[in-house]
Amino acid sequence: MTKFRKKRVAIVGSTGMVGRRFAELLDGHPWYEIAMLVGYKSTKASYGEVWRQKEVSIRDHYGGDFWSMRPCPDRLKERRVQPIDDLFEAQDIDLVFSAMPPNVCYLEQRLLDAGYTLFSNSPYGRFEEDNPLVVAEVNGEEIRDQKFIKNPNCVSSGLTLALAPLKARYGLKNISVVTFQSLTGKGDAKYPQDLVVGNIFSLHKSDEGTEEYIRREVHKILREEVPLSVSCNRVYVQEGHLVDVKVNTIERIKSESEIVELFRSFNPLRDLALPFSPATPLVIINEAGRPRPRQDAFHSGGMAVAIGGISVRDDVFDLRLQVLVNNLIRGAAGGAVLNSDLYMRRQYGMMRDG
């Protein structure tokens, strides 16, 4: 096995909600060391203080009984948030993880022009054909030697993990999706309380564009424009998106146990020894009333997707199920880190103890 030094990485948009989760996940990663924490409005401030202020702001808005604050990693508290110009001038950064907000994600193109390799959670460039949009277990073969590797919307990340084995085994005729998405899907931005507290807020025709993102992303990742109906809602939950899925298949499904076995055996990355690859990407939950965000958003550290409510008894659809994806880990930062692990494994032959 080839010995190598840890790769020095920068997190751009590091002070935002997904950026903070990038920092949590990359702190202590066996292949990487965090060399730069890049921000916009908070440059020169200590990362720990910016982190605390943002968590307190959300807690105070929604209430301490609802919002559970996450602590900044100890090793990062005294680090200084650096402006992006420092990154453009740096000579020793190997990889960049991007959580840029939409209003400045055009800066990703400048980073690409400067020669950086980006693993990006931002929406910029997701639908350009040359940019692979990757969920590692679903279409990880599209990761080769590109400089710009995207991961999709949080719902699409979990949804395609469930759809991929169904497509391979039965073929997909049409799909209906209804989402119940947590408030952290909005990042640090805050909804007016009357929209979400004790309420359900429909995202249809809102300015978030989530329904269209999901439809287009599923088509791009699966490489098939299967008819897909998507309806999205925001619910008063801190973390974890529940997705109600109904599917008509081309080939007949014989039994629910057949589906359970199909999902349990789905693990295309099993033999690659990637640090962020879950032991089983799909966790089957048999208990009635599950999966639920509080109980099921953190299987395998948030990298596994929980599936329950499997039924082949429906008057309209061949299969119904519910999918629970951790929107900040598997659906955002963790998905990008897993994509980077797969990239590094293929580029450098890196192993778990690298």
Does residue 1 fall inside a structural domain? no
Please state at what angle helix 256-264 crosses helix 154-170, rounded to 10 degrees: 120
Residues written for the chain:
354
* 146 & 159 share domain: no
Does residue 103 fall inside a structural domain? yes
* 308 & 232 share domain: yes
* 340 & 247 share domain: no
* 197 & 318 share domain: yes
* 251 & 234 share domain: yes
Which pLDDT tens digit goes with each residue over 220-256?
999 999 999 999 999 999 999 999 999 999 999 999 9
Is the pLDDT higher at 40 or at 212? 212
> Does residue 272 register a pLDDT over 50?
yes
> By residue range, what is the domain housing residue 282?
154-326
pLDDT of residue 44: 79
* 133 & 174 share domain: no
pLDDT of residue 66: 92
User: Which letter, b or e, does each residue of 129-152 get, where b requires 16 or more Cβ atoms within 10 Å of its Cβ?
Assistant: eebbbbbbbbbbebbeeeebbbbb
Considering its fold, how many domains does the chain have in total?
Answer: 2
What CATH number corresponds to the domain at position 79?
Answer: 3.40.50.720
pLDDT of residue 354: 42
pLDDT of residue 350: 58
* 161 & 254 share domain: yes
* 246 & 299 share domain: yes
Does residue 163 fall inside a structural domain? yes
* 225 & 149 share domain: no
Which pLDDT tens digit goes with each residue over 177-207?
999 999 999 999 999 999 999 999 999 999 8
* 165 & 278 share domain: yes
Does residue 48 fall inside a structural domain? yes
45, 54 Cβ separation under 8 angstroms: no
